[in-house]
């Protein structure tokens, strides 16, 4: 009897061991599957966020507003993309402006479609105007969204293009909107040939904007944001928490800077404008009541054209000498002006 019981006991013991192993593997595989699912969702969120949307309407061009223009192409300063642009000449003028649209927009679509109208108005004020599409946007070459530091190379490429046409260092200004404003800040901080900057609706730091708008932009809980940022570091070798235009704008001084922001901007709070101004106390600032994100022109188009053209006329009026601290424009709102008193 003992001889027959021993194999049965061993068989029962073996089955218990196999069940235990299966249970252990099940307990181990559940966390692994959860981690894999988390990583997959974060990867998808990363790929979606880094892909710009293309919006371009060739019929909404500066010619609609009574000015001549031509289509041009040039390389970004890094040479990795070709940038598409419209160039509007101003006879007899030695000053040029680069107009830079924001994320998911273009030279035809920015400012709710009023970008060509603004460009034409500035050309009639005596500025040569170069309207660009950022990489991955409009008709420029495909490229992932870079949050500002990558796009600054497109702005610098526009400056290089204008210099090949004879425009001098210091006679070129940049007007950027939203992402284009952040790119303009980075470009002006790195390139002293940019004589002056108007930034409209830039963020002071990217990290808080991503955190605040994460759920609305991705429909995902904030729980997935750290994983997505980690994938960004791994794939694009970028730490979004280090993208801080407020740290860069101080490097532009003493060249003139004008900050424009909507008082009721729901995407990038008006506090970001004050944070940027605090980093460059010499900057002029205009907070526009009733203006949403990048909405200052729509609310006050005449005032926008007047303020921007007066600013650049003063800042770029002396060509390569425009970077002098003595050439800071006067008569513009100071950074201490509150939204209630800015007009």
Mean pLDDT for each consecutive 10-residue tract of the chain (343 residues)? Answer: 54 59 60 77 76 92 98 95 98 96 97 98 98 97 91 98 96 98 98 98 92 74 80 77 94 97 97 98 97 98 98 78 36 34 32
pLDDT of residue 83: 98
Please, which residues have CB within 8 angstroms of residue 116's CB and are 6 or more apart in sequence? 60, 61, 62, 64, 65, 86, 107, 108, 131
What tokens appear for 14 in the block?
């073996």
pLDDT of residue 245: 97
Task: Provide the residue count of the chain.
Answer: 343
Instruction: Assess contact for 258 and 335: CB atoms under 8 A.
Output: no
CA distance 325 to 74: 32
pTM: 0.81
Instruction: Assess contact for 169 and 193: CB atoms under 8 A.
Output: yes
Instruction: Assess contact for 102 and 265: CB atoms under 8 A.
Output: no
CA distance 321 to 327: 8
pLDDT of residue 160: 98
Of the candidates 252, 256, 255, 261, the residue with the CA atom closest to the CA atom of residue 311 = 256
CA distance 198 to 131: 14
H or E element that contains 4: helix 2-49
């Amino acid at each position: 009897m003992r001889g027959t019981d021993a194999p049965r006991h061993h068989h029962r013991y073996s089955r218990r061991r196999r069940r235990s192993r299966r249970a252990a593997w099940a307990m181990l595989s559940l966390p692994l599957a959860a981690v894999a699912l988390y990583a997959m969702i974060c990867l998808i969120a990363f790929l979606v966020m880094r892909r710009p949307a293309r919006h371009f309407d060739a019929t909404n061009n500066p010619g609609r507003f009574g000015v001549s223009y031509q289509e041009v192409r040039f390389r970004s300063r890094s040479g990795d993309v070709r940038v598409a642009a419209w160039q509007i000449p101003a006879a007899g003028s030695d000053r040029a402006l680069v107009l830079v649209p924001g994320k998911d927009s273009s030279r035809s679509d920015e400012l709710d479609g009023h970008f060509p109208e603004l460009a034409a108005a500035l050309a009639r004020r005596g500025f040569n105007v170069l309207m660009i599409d950022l990489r991955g946007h409009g008709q420029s070459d495909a490229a992932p969204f870079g949050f500002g530091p990558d796009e600054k190379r497109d702005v610098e490429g526009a400056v290089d293009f204008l210099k090949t046409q004879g425009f001098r260092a210091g006679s070129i200004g940049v007007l950027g909107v939203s992402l284009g404003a952040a790119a303009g800040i980075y470009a002006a901080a790195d390139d002293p040939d940019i004589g002056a900057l108007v930034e409209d609706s830039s963020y002071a730091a990217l990290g808080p904007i991503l955190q605040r708008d994460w759920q609305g932009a991705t429909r995902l809980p904030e729980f997935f944001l750290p994983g997505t940022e980690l994938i960004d570091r791994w794939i694009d070798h970028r730490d979004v928490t280090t993208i801080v235009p407020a740290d860069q704008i101080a490097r532009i001084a003493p060249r003139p800077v004008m900050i424009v922001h909507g008082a009721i901007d729901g995407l990038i709070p008006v506090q970001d404008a004050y944070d940027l101004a605090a980093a460059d106390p010499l900057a002029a600032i205009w907070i526009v009541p009733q203006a949403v994100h990048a909405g200052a022109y729509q609310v006050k188009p005449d005032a926008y054209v007047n303020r921007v053209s007066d600013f650049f006329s003063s800042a770029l009026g002396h060509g390569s000498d425009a970077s002098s601290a003595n050439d800071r424009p006067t008569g513009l709102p100071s950074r201490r002006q509150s939204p209630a008193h800015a007009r």
